Structure 1
Amino acid sequence: MSLSITMLGTGSPRPSLERSGPSQIVSINGEPILIDAGEGVVNRILQSNYKLNQIENIFFTHLHGDHIYGYAHFLIAGWGSGRKHLTVIGPEGTKKMHELVLQMYHEDIAYRTSLGFPTEGLLNANIIEIRDTSSIVSIDTGLDINVQASKMAHNVLTFAYRFDDGTHTIVISGDTAPTKQLVTLSQDADVLIHDCCLTTTSMYSYTTRSEMKEVWKNLQKEHSSPTQAAQTAHQANVKNLILTHFLPQIDVDEIRTEVEKIFSGNTIIPNDLDIITP
């Protein structure tokens, strides 16, 4: 059994040359699974040495712009690269989002099909929507792994995902404030990839603009700090904690110190394109 995680994008809605929008590839036994498709995802996939037509499964934690900005590019470019199958999994609204992308690019799609491109891998995409529920739900993906989803604490319908192949378990939180549901979903996981938007040195935390102070206050209800991520990892008894979703101007040493006061497992504060093999 083999496992690797490629952190394609570790950033936030704020554009950054160093950190692309939220996205990662979890590769289990050679099957690459894309989770979220933030800005720059296609370039990051190519830089990571994956091929676009390799990726036939994508999960969305939620449909905020920073997690879907790159989807249209991924959808069209992967199809043009020869992808034959695509399964898209996400919260209610995922199908509408997918169909809107097809509508927006209908002239481009019509042109390419007139050249002889087959429609497989684009127009036959399998869209699976997860309904709003307080229960942990199992998802039939057709993959040889067990996938579960649990609703998180965010201001739109958001799901964390647990991937389990019988040997390795990975949980991806998506955007969330602290919630018992994530502790339950993450119990004894090998890896927890956790939202870490609320760092003390990030650009919103020290602003003097009154309107941005209000933004920072409201973000506390929707995201997590290093301390909160560490508490979840500790309570869930996970082995490895990977932090992501960073606003600009983070202090990596400060984050690590904050986390290690609480969590005794392995803490990883990645850059874009880091490959992790726990």
Structure 2
Amino acid sequence: MTNTKVILLGTGTPALTPGRYQSATAIIVNDQPYIVDCGSGCLERIVEARSNGIRELTFEKLNKLFLTHFHPDHTVGLPGFLISPWIRGRRVVDVFGPTGTKEMIEGILTTFKKGINEHLYHGPKKLDNLRVDANDFTEGVIYKDELVEVEAIKVMHGTFDAYGFKFNTPDKTIVLSGDTRPVPKLYQKAANCDILIHEVYCEAEIQQFPQGFRKYFKEVHTSGTELGRIAQEVNPGLLVLTHQILYNSPKTKLIDEIRANYKGELAFGNDLDLFE
């Protein structure tokens, strides 16, 4: 019997917010975690989740990482994620990301080479070489094992490649939008999924900002009003909000924007929230 659950490790944005680390999500199938994105605080939240009873999040099992895009609030935690679990006994980690991932990983390993070598050759215990298998992907099925199939779906977020993910497991279908403006193909893939995890901004809140700022948000993110319409059409079992761009607005204002069009199940995601 398969059991799939989701833990929000980071629901924050580039604008650092108390109580919210940056983007990271764990999808756990039986005892295997699959991590999506690695913003600041990713490892800290993993340790907290484990102390809260999520025993599957051991350092040895942090061996599958999927990146939606290269913005720092989704990747700045990478050095720690690559190195710290290795020191604690992980043998190899597979990293999947858009074109340029291999280059980025090589750059990180080069930057931290002196520290890595100190652990490798002069530390208190013998370590195997740090092994990172970096994989560049394009759209389509990018990973498959006996527990999960992962499909990358191209989304629109700025000028570089960005993707959402669809995780198919024996008991659930989970779709993560990544950062994106509305993209019809993503929502076709997400139709009737069990959980849709989607970024969102409060449309009313950004009206106070200059026109150029408002234009930027409409080009690269999804408003509460838009997400409400999308979710009503997609019909997920549960809509989970993450990467909520609120600034000074109360969360009720954003929820009201969504509820104007969406009547289904809705969760305002917070760090360490668990969904099963």
Same-fold call, TM > 0.5? yes
Of all paired residues, the percent bearing the same amino acid is 27
Distance 2:148 2:186 in 1: 20
3-state SS of the aligned residue for 1:48?
A: helix
Name 2:134's counterpart in structure 1: 127
**The one of 195, 202, 210 aligned to 1:191:** 195
3-state SS of the aligned residue for 1:140?
A: strand
Name 2:15's counterpart in structure 1: 14
Q: Report how far residue 143 of structure 1 moved.
A: 4.9
Amino acid at match of 1:100: G
Name 2:248's counterpart in structure 1: 249
Amino acid at match of 2:236: V
Name 2:54's counterpart in structure 1: none
Name 2:39's counterpart in structure 1: 38
Q: Which 5+ residue runs of structure 2 have no aligned equivalent?
A: 51-56
TM-score normalised by structure 2 residue count: 0.90
Amino acid at match of 1:218: Y
What are the superposed Cα offsets for residues 185-215 of structure 1, whole Å, 9 maximum, x if unpaired? Answer: 21111000001134433xx5424xx5xx523
Distance 2:70 2:11 in 1: 17
The within-5 A match list for 1:101-180 is 101-114=108-121, 115=123, 116-120=125-129, 122=130, 124-131=131-138, 133=139, 137-155=140-158, 156-180=160-184
Distance 1:72 1:32 in 2: 19
Amino acid at match of 1:214: G
Amino acid at match of 1:23: A
Q: Report how far residue 172 of structure 1 moved.
A: 0.4
Distance 2:215 2:250 in 1: 20
Whether the 8 Å CA contact 2:87–2:127 is kept in 1: the answer is no
Greater share of residues in strand: 2
Whether the 8 Å CA contact 1:198–1:220 is kept in 2: the answer is no
Distance 2:58 2:26 in 1: 12
TM-score normalised by structure 1 residue count: 0.89
- Residue 269 in structure 1 maps to residue 271 in structure 2: no
Q: Which 5+ residue runs of structure 1 have no aligned equivalent?
A: none
Distance 1:118 1:205 in 2: 54
Instruction: Compute the RMSD of aligned alpha carbons.
Output: 1.7
Alignment length, in residue pairs? 265
Q: Report how far residue 6 of structure 1 moved.
A: 0.9
3-state SS of the aligned residue for 1:20?
A: coil
- Residue 70 in structure 1 maps to residue 69 in structure 2: no
The within-5 A match list for 1:213-252 is 213-247=211-245, 248-252=247-251
Distance 2:249 2:11 in 1: 12
